[in-house]
Amino acid sequence: MTSAPGSAVPEPPVLDLARLTRRYGAFTAVDDVGLRLPAGARHAVIGPNGAGKTTLLNLIAGTDRPDHGTITLDGTDITRTPTAGRSRLGIARSFQQPSVIGELSVLDNIVLAGWPHHPKRRGAWRSPSRYRLHTASAASHLKTVGLADLAHRPAATLSHGQRRMLDLAAALAGRPRLLLLDEPAAGLTDDDIGRLLAILGALPPHVAVILVEHHVEVVAQVCSTVTVLAAGRTIATGPTREVLTRPEVRDAYHGTGSTAGPAAAPARG
């Protein structure tokens, strides 16, 4: 669905993946995957270990290149656009392993992450006048993720859950149109997962999210639509509640040794 209600002119999707394929030698990690997302979509990509989920995020973010297929952002073909260019166009990402800079303060991590995206970004990022300009918006991102009180601590002193929140704040500092989240709930306590859900629920409505996540409860709460990958191929896509109950989706997890996924979701009535 890519047209606004009541509009005769269909809106272009914010993201359009067509026949995306990535091979490593004879092995195909992502196999002929297509996906169209409207602005503000909340879409999950799930699947058993090794299904190709992170590879798909890498292709969208530009840290890996497809052997075949196209990636279109807001109507522009970005298949060959470098990662930094995609970032400037509004693609931001959080990682399975949080990518914070331990020696910098929590606040400076966000100032640095937001610097290339700020309208007043000229000059060295730590020049005093420029730096002051950026700390205000960085502080607001820290407040969003519940780290405002830790702003001046070295990032290296944060707990795993706090690092994940900092990584998310760094992604938000990129003022994304499309936010790619790679297993943000991994290793979090129940309290941290509650905070994560609140943060994701409060994202600006125009920001599209692709969430790779093994926690089905998080997927079900955050995402209205889902794609299921298995061995690089799309085996199901559609409304989350409906897709999670399909037998072929639950079958995809059986025999993989995976303890997470729709096998843990409520069985069909």
What are the two backbone dihedrals, phi and then psi, of residue 17, each rounded to the nearest 5 degrees?
A: -100, 130
- Closer to ligand ATP by CB, 55 or 79: give it: 55
Least distance CB 101 / ligand ATP (angstroms): 24
234 sits near ligand ATP (criterion: CB under 6 A): no
Least distance CB 198 / ligand ATP (angstroms): 25
Site size for ligand ATP (CB under 6 A) = 10
In the chain, which residue ranges form alpha helices assigned H by DSSP? 53-61, 83-89, 106-114, 128-144, 160-173, 190-201, 216-222, 240-244, 247-253
Contact 245, 265 (CB under 8 A): yes
For 206, the 3-state DSSP assignment is coil
Distance CA 253, CA 123 (A): 51
- Closer to ligand ATP by CB, 109 or 227: give it: 227
Least distance CB 8 / ligand ATP (angstroms): 40
Alpha carbon of residue 50 to chain centroid: 18
Least distance CB 56 / ligand ATP (angstroms): 7
- Closer to ligand ATP by CB, 54 or 240: give it: 54
* Span 20-79, contacts to ligand ATP by CB under 6 A: 24, 29, 47, 49-55
Residues that bind ligand ATP (CB under 6 A): 24, 29, 47, 49-55
